[in-house]
Homo-oligomer: A and B are copies of this chain.
Amino acid sequence: MQDVAFEAGVSSATVSRVLAGLKAGTSEATALHVLQTARQLGYVVNSVAASLRKEKTYSVGLILADIANPFFAGLARGVEDILRPEGFSILLANTDNKVEEETRLLRLMMEKQVDAVIMSSSASTNDHIVSAMAHGLKVILVDSEIKDTAVDTIVVDNRQGAQNAIDYLIRQGHENIAIVTGSLQASFDQERLAGYYDAFSAQGLTVPEHLIFSSDSTYEGGRRAVKSLLQNNRDISAFFITNNLMTMGTITELVEQGFIIPDDFSLVGFDDMEWYSIFKPAITAIRQPIYQLGRIAAERLLKTLSADIPPSPERIVLNTELLLRNSVASRPVHPDTSPQEKK
């Protein structure tokens, strides 16, 4: 700071005030001269000073539930492709699906003076998000929603997506369909379970509730699901798994136990992975518009940041697509429960 003062021909106090972004007592011309000198000397102008001058730091926080999940990498790519060309830097943070981490990371992002946060929340309550917004942080929820919260929300139609998958399995003659899901705190897992219920109800079938298994949304969680479900049930004919990491765990556990997909068990996963199409058998899956989710969240953020008056929160819902491949086998249908073809 003394070097800058010497070079610029001003007092250290002036340099300190300018670099701290304080406007009082210094002319605009002097401030500019100090900043230029500081930059020439390689002094890193801190973001607070920058934000006080420009009102924006051009940095955005992206809080994700699990960066080990390829889903979130695709989402981050969509966000970056929109925000980078506009001059924004993106700081990512990982909650590991822990709600207490969400609170901590929202606070961190405020301390780091980001202009806004795009967040995938696993929470079922909104206190931490409402509090962050009350402190002036702009928040956009993506891939998750929280009831009764006035916040921009970009999601896929998880409920309809899950219903389509179960409906397809039922039409292939399956009834004892196990659902392997993550913790049911998060909105997406609640919605996917609701879609599972909807599909059975729509066909007038009883929901096989003993085949609902919830665990961590991880590879290990998927393996545990298979072990537990097969140990306790002899009637399962198909698995519906609500996320890609658990799907990998489920497939691995079935293969290692010597079962053949789809001869022994049919299988549908929520979320499509690149290796599914070259796997033997190719895996039937629900494709989510992951990249689009990220892009739309980022576009919404730009709109919010550029508006003089903040726009009213919107809820944007994207459709999923069921990709029929080879991991589902037809079963002979019991005559009285034969469902009619729909759509």
Q: Which of A101-136 contact B (CB under 8 A)?
A: 104-105, 107-108, 110-113, 131, 134-135
Choose one: B59, B89, B131, B277; the contact of A252 (CB below 8 Å). Answer: B277
Per-residue B-contact encoding for A263-281, CB less than 8 Å = 1, 0 else: 0000000000011011110
Chain B contacts for A57, CB-based, 8 A: 111
A309 within 8 A of B: no
Choose one: B42, B76, B94, B279; the contact of A76 (CB below 8 Å). Answer: B94
Interface segment, one of A65-73, A296-304, A320-328: A65-73
Find the B residue at minimum CB distance from A24.
B13
Q: How far is the CB of A31 from chain B (nearest CB, A)?
A: 14
Contact at A67–B73, with CB atoms within 8 Å?
yes
Contact at A91–B89, with CB atoms within 8 Å?
no
Chain B contacts for A33, CB-based, 8 A: none
A246 within 8 A of B: no
A184 within 8 A of B: no
A216 within 8 A of B: no
Contact at B252–A44, with CB atoms within 8 Å?
no
Per-residue B-contact encoding for A3-45, CB less than 8 Å = 1, 0 else: 0000000000100110011101000000000000000001011
The 5 closest A-B pairs by CB, nearest first: A92-B92, A68-B73, A20-B20, A44-B110, A47-B111
